[in-house]
Chains A and B, each alone.
Chain A
Amino acid sequence: MSVVHVRVRVAGEHYALPVEQVLEVADLGAIASVPGSPAALIGVRNLRGQVIPVIDLATLLGLTGDQPGRIVVAESGEVRAGLLVNEVLDVGELPPVSEQVESRYLLGACLVDGELVGALDVDAVLAPIAPPGGSA
């Protein structure tokens, strides 16, 4: 079963999010940093009157990011957050994941046009972030 996904580029690698969990794509905008929050959280942003956290996907996935570009606003249930990506590539069907991946933020990976694409587990990405030094 293939599901429509939004493909993004993060630190040179390709990832995909189910289109149902993507609300919109926005500019980086003005980010207010939150002292005391983990490194993967860049800060919070005002998105038309809503305060949404912005998560740096590269840091979260343990990559070294290059030029940040846009925010993909994703949701998991009631929870919303902006995910920082370099670029939004396209929207299309993603074949079922075929590769197992050792990451709590990925459901797996598959090949699309010869490129390995990681299927993001949006629910895990939007789970409450433990503060630095926290036990979680």
Chain B
Amino acid sequence: MSASDEEIHALVRQEAGDCLQRMEANLMALESGEGGSAEIDAILRDAHSIKGSSAMIGWQEPATLASAIEDRMERARETGSLPNKAVDPLLRAVDALRRAVNGEEGVAAPLVEELAALGVEAGDEGADSPAGRGAPPRVEAAARAAGSAAAQAPTIRIDAAKVDRMLDAVGETVLYHRRLEHTLEGSRQEGRQVSEELDMGERLLGDLQDSVVQMRTLPLSMITSPFPRAIRDLASEEGKEAELTVSGAETQLDRAILEGISETIVHLLRNAVAHGIETPEEREAAGKPRLGRIDLRAHQRGGMVAIEVADDGKGVSAEILARAEQVGSLAEVLSETGFSTAGEVTEVAGRGVGLDAVKRSVESLGGGLEVQSEPGKGTEVTLLLPLTLALMRVLLFELGEQPFGLPMTSVGRVVAVTDTTSLGTRPSVEIDGQVVRLSHLAELAGSGWKVPERSPAIVVESLGRRLAVLCDELIGEEEVVIKSLGAVLAGVPGYLGAAILGDGRIALVLDPNHLMRAPKGKMAVDQPEDTTERPAGQVLVVDDQFSARELQRSILETAGYRVEVARDGREALQRIGEITGLDLVMTDVQMPEMDGFELLEAIRADEVHSSLPVVVVTTLGDEASRKRGAEAGADAYIVKNEFDQEALLETIERLVGR
């Protein structure tokens, strides 16, 4: 080999190295959903240039491999997208090409074969064979290509299963910590140090958990980028004009949810085009612009992510709306099996499948479905999805000496059931002037039950309805790892799963949507009842912890007090200024923004409210804290560990002076 050959080889190698680096970056961009046709073209150019220069100097292997990559990318250029499953083999082909360029032999053949086999497999890779399928599958194909975008991470590539295993391990560690906390419960009062160490551990574990959960989240944009184009094409096939606008695509979702929801969103978009948007002529006749609008919006709503698909089409008919009013939920009516809003069966969506499939898929992910529609104006479907599948904040309660949980996202508040009215034949309770049906878990088993004399009920809000679920006692709010009940119990409805608590007991986590549905027949129509005004003291409960707040509320309401709540000192001060006839403030100490002592000091310093009785309720049982409370002017100091309902009520009664 002459010196000049050597020089040329070095040059080709160097050029190829640059090309390979770019190819890698572009493949990753395509995989993460950030790339598009520009990246596909760039990869093609680089593969082509390696093929050319390798062939020129007689390097067979690199030339063959580069050519195979080029072929695969040609197909991607034709379809406008690269299926995610093709990325991994292509990345490995790039690695092999790098080795081949550096003189390694026998690396090309297996990958050339693998690349050739890619996309030849029929069926599950629609983007590769648009001609081989029926008219409308382009949307699904695009969604699938992007939706299966599992392995993300532009900087480090980690097998998704490894992250899942890590999350499992973190979940178990959290459980272990709870067990430890439980075991050390007795020592908590003794030493502040034990308490502090445990709290520190909890905080650290929380951070760890959050960051692992974040590793599993991906932006919605992973699946949305092909939609606008697909919608335009789909509409034109239907003889319609429609434009899709996507907003909030940066909203983060759990990878598993994202994968599970992609087809559902496609279904809704197709529905919007087929059932919602009218033909341009119809739209003009109705005084609307020819171009129909479809909006895909995503945003976080509380602990959930809301994904809305809204169109400005014809909406549902007045008859359907009337029926929805009867049943109590439009989503419910539209998702009855076989319900379709299309008058005639069209190729796209009118297969007699209504929203039932959408609903099932959303509910299987622990979410819910809401639908709003106005005849002539349009329809808006909202998918409410949990942020993550693995962890859930639940409100735990006890019933029949067994713990149960309800997702916090569905819990409105807790009420004390004292007076029950009956709505038809069903016992109900009045909340904020509305009659809300009472429910007992015995209903799940189809058994009867009696309204207890005095008991807390958790107001569950789901699918736009409210229901009060009776329980014996509240345990508290906790973040739990949800485990499946398994295949044996797969047919038993009503549960999202089970959680193992710190003490080893199993809490079944209820599916609020199932509870809503429970008895058939006419749904509860809200009929405001006249409230018999009873003279009672009014108490403001201040606590940053939902469960503690609601527990105190339920105790006080049961005893006949009217209760207002605030989440921290600052909010409390504001409420104190607003509420007329406030008799007493009950406050926690440790709270964000403004703590209980600061609140107490602020009340004492306020001219108008300085004589307001304040009861401090806290976990801080040590002398110093008690002293500080007394100095700040607390009328009573109650330690949560010594929490005794009767004593609390006596104290309050004495202070309120009734």
Query: By the criterion CB–CB under 8 Å, are B489 and A129 in contact?
Result: yes
**A36 & B494 in contact (Cβ 8 Å cutoff):** yes
Q: Which of A32, A41, A131 contacts B498 (CB 8 A)?
A: A32
Task: Say which residue of B441, B487, B489 sits within 8 Å of A37 (CB atoms).
Answer: B489
Contact of B488 (CB < 8 Å), options: A33, A50, A79, A133: A79
Which residues of the other chain, B, contact A33 by a CB distance below 8 angstroms?
402
The proximity string for B residues 430-465 relative to A, scoring 1 for CB distances below 8 Å and 0 otherwise, is: 000000000001101110000000000000000000
Q: How far is the CB of A30 from chain B (nearest CB, A)?
A: 6
Q: Are A41 and B488 in contact (CB under 8 A)?
A: yes
Given A30-B505, A46-B500, A132-B446, residue A37 in contact with residue B402 (CB < 8 A): no
Q: Name the contact of B489 in the complex, choosing from A30, A34, A133, A134 (C-beta under 8 A).
A: A34
Residue contact A35 to B488, C-beta cutoff 8 Å:
no
| Cα separation A65 to B485 with both chains bound (whole Å) | 25
Are B492 and A129 neighbours in the complex by a CB distance under 8 Å?
A: yes
Interface size class of B (residues with CB under 8 A): 20 to 34
Instruction: Sort A-B residue pairs by CB-CB distance and give the 8 closest, nearest first.
Output: A36-B444, A32-B506, A35-B444, A35-B445, A53-B488, A51-B498, A79-B487, A37-B492
Residue of B whose beta carbon sits closest to that of A132 = B446
Question: Which of A50, A131, A132, A134 gathers the greatest number of chain B CB atoms within 10 Å?
Answer: A131
Interface centre among B441, B486, B488, B504 (most CB of A within 10 A): B488
Query: Is A97 part of the contact surface with B, judged by Cβ < 8 Å?
Result: no
Bound Cα distance from A117 to B369, whole angstroms: 52
Write out the residue numbers on chain A whose beta carbons fall within 8 Å of the beta carbon of B444: 35-36
Total of A-B residue pairs, C-beta within 8 Å? 88
Asked if residues B402 and A129 are in contact (CB atoms below 8 Å), the reply is: no
Total A residues in contact with B, Cβ cutoff 8 Å: 32
The interface residues of chain B lying within 8 Å CB-to-CB of A30 are: 504-506
User: Is B506 touching A46 in the complex (CB atoms < 8 A)?
Assistant: yes
Could you tell me the distance between the alpha carbons of A55 and B487 in the complex, rounded to whole angstroms?
13
CB-based contact A51/B492 at 8 Å: no
Task: Decide if B445 touches A128 in the complex (CB within 8 Å).
Answer: no
Query: Complex: how many Å from CA A132 to CA B402?
Result: 22
* Cβ contact within 8 Å between A44 and B498: yes
Please tell me if A80 contacts chain B, counting CB pairs below 8 Å: yes
Q: Which residues of B contact A80 (CB under 8 A)?
A: 486
Shortest B513–chain A CB gap in Å is: 14
Closest to B176 in A: A49
Q: Which residues of B contact A132 (CB under 8 A)?
A: 446
User: Could you name 11 residue pairs across A and B whose Cβ atoms are closer than 8 Å?
Assistant: A41-B488, A51-B483, A51-B506, A52-B486, A53-B488, A53-B489, A79-B486, A128-B488, A128-B489, A129-B491, A131-B491
Known A32-B498, A35-B445, A133-B446; further 15 A-B contacts with Cβ < 8 A: A30-B506, A33-B402, A34-B489, A36-B492, A37-B492, A44-B498, A51-B485, A51-B506, A53-B489, A78-B487, A128-B490, A129-B488, A129-B489, A131-B492, A131-B493
